[in-house]
Amino acid sequence: MKHILIVSKDTVLKEQLTRVIDPTKTQLDMAESLSSAMSLSTEMQYDAALVVVNRYDSRAAEFLTEFLDQNPQTMLMPVSPNVAVEHVLDAMRRGAADFIHQPVTAEEIVTRISKCIESRRMKREIDFLRHTQPHIYRFDDIVGVSAPMKKVFSLLRKVAPTDATVLIMGETGTGKELIAGAIHFNSPRAKNSFVKVNCAALPENLLESELFGHEKGAFTGAHRQRVGRFEQADAGTIFLDEIGDMGASTQAKILRVLQEHQFERLGGTQTIDVDVRVIAATNKDLTTLMNSGQFREDLFYRLNVVTIELAPLRERREDIGPLVTFFLKKYAAQINNRVESVSTPGMKMLEEYHWPGNIRQLQNVIERAVIMCEGTKVLPEHIALYDKASPKKKEIVEIPEDGVKLVDVERQLIVQALERTGWVQKNAAKLLGMSPRVINYKIRKHRIKRPDL
Ligand SMILES: Nc1ncnc2c1ncn2[C@@H]1O[C@H](COP(=O)(O)OP(=O)(O)OP(=O)(O)O)[C@@H](O)[C@H]1O
Ligand SMILES: [Mg+2]
């Protein structure tokens, strides 16, 4: 929804514009005087303000300065039947976005407002891109042949073209950010900003200022007004990463943006309207957080319109091979062109490993292997898998503090095997990996007897 303020003594311009705008997309507000325009603008951030003056005089000029000082995001445009070049120059110097010379058609005014709003959006985007590394996400760069990944692809194709909020869940390194980017860049919003915010990286008050911006003087150190990430993402997508780490106050504000598409900057009274698609991700179990009261239930249901679950790599081992090929090709091209493939024992290592760091870890392992590799094939010695990070392998039997006699363990295991197999010696032997002849010998040695005989 766009908000346009018309500052005029009569309703002529408003009536003209009402005929050509779509009221579901644009709201027109009227202020009859300059002072009421000032006070209206404390409540709503206007995208554009048209100031109708019979003559551009010093009062109009001062109003421009004062209004833009308080509302630097608004496209201010004087409208007047009497325009001289020096008026236009003065207005532009004060920060006006355009100067409209009457008579003019309503259609032309609407076109000029749209152009100004678009150029502001582009400026925001350029500001934003200057601070980030643009990275293009394509469906083709998502590798996966396993059943869970096929499900993800089919969901992606359905959800990307819509505006639906998406919640992506998965362990670290499973591709949450990649999927979020692919949704944005395959949506109608692709040409607008994709803004990423890591909710776990900042303490709550800083996170709120990052997300919603702040007014000058909102807190100690707020020397200037700051436009938040939600505003930067207007018409685009915001990716809220690690959403499970957000505090209660931020959760409440995000909920409001999702419901009403509105918020205020910290320390501000103006309501800001945005059109932002939200994609959230977490590696935490939100249901557990919800049950312990750390995550709002209403927010969970708002976010959870479409859920994409990314399985850990160890649960989709068919993807390891294609991923290895994909990363090998990528890093060979970047680092060492001679490397062509992974040797059979090397591949076996990769396929059997449990990948606690998932695809990011696999990617790093391949990058290192390509660096280390001297020939055309990656050998096991080029592959560094950290077993320290692996969960402790469950011991089959654990030695008690004060030790144990091996014969007792052997006896116990044979009894257990016999009980489990209904005392069929042949089957019990199989369970323990020994021949029927050996088990028979040991049963006699340990004097094991079936209790009910
Ligand atoms: N299916 C995939 N195909 C190709 N590359 C992938 C795939 N999944 C993940 N990657 C790559 O693995 C790396 C980690 O992915 P990403 O950053 O999206 O994971 P994440 O789930 O956001 O991790 P974290 O929870 O640690 O933030 C990235 O370089 C990404 O490009
Ligand atoms: Mg991530």
Instruction: Give 161 Cα–ligand 1 centroid separation in angstroms.
Output: 22
Better-predicted residue by pLDDT, 375 or 133: 375
Instruction: Give 153 Cα–ligand 2 centroid separation in angstroms.
Output: 19
Answer whether residue 241 shows pLDDT above 90: yes
What is the CB < 6 Å shell around ligand 1? 141-144, 170, 172-178, 283, 326, 359-360, 363
Answer whether residue 432 shows pLDDT above 50: yes
The confidence score (pLDDT) of residue 389 equals: 44
Instruction: Give 114 Cα–ligand 1 centroid separation in angstroms.
Output: 38
The confidence score (pLDDT) of residue 123 equals: 76
Instruction: Give 363 Cα–ligand 1 centroid separation in angstroms.
Output: 9
Cα(444)–Cα(40) distance, integer angstroms = 97
The confidence score (pLDDT) of residue 236 equals: 94
Grade residue 121 by pLDDT with cuts at 50, 70 and 90.
confident
Structure tokens at 438: 């050996």
Domains and CATH numbers, the chain: 2-122 (3.40.50.2300), 139-310 (3.40.50.300), 314-382 (1.10.8.60), 396-453 (1.10.10.60)
The confidence score (pLDDT) of residue 205 equals: 83
Q: Which ligand is nearest to the CA of 319?
A: 1
- Which H or E run contains 166? strand 166-170
Cα(370)–Cα(332) distance, integer angstroms = 6
Determine the 3-state secondary structure of 15 from DSSP. helix
Residue type at 378?
V
pLDDT tens profile 186-196: 999 988 889 99
Q: If you ran DSSP here, which 8-state letter would residue 139 be given?
A: G
The confidence score (pLDDT) of residue 210 equals: 92
Q: Which ligand is nearest to the CA of 168?
A: 1
Q: Which ligand 1 atom is nearest residue 174's CA?
A: 21
Contact (Cβ atoms closer than 8 angstroms) between residue 207 and residue 199: yes
The confidence score (pLDDT) of residue 390 equals: 47
The confidence score (pLDDT) of residue 387 equals: 63
pLDDT tens profile 314-366: 999 999 999 999 999 999 998 888 999 999 999 999 999 999 999 999 999 99
Q: Which ligand 1 atom is nearest residue 175's CA?
A: 18
Closest residue by Cα to atom 8, ligand 1, is 175
Residue percentage of the chain with pLDDT more than 90: 72
Determine the 3-state secondary structure of 262 from DSSP. strand
Rg (CA), the chain: 33
- Which H or E run contains 5? strand 2-7
Whole-number mean pLDDT of the chain?
90
338: burial class by Cβ within 10 Å (0-12, 13-18, 19+)?
exposed
Residue type at 228?
G
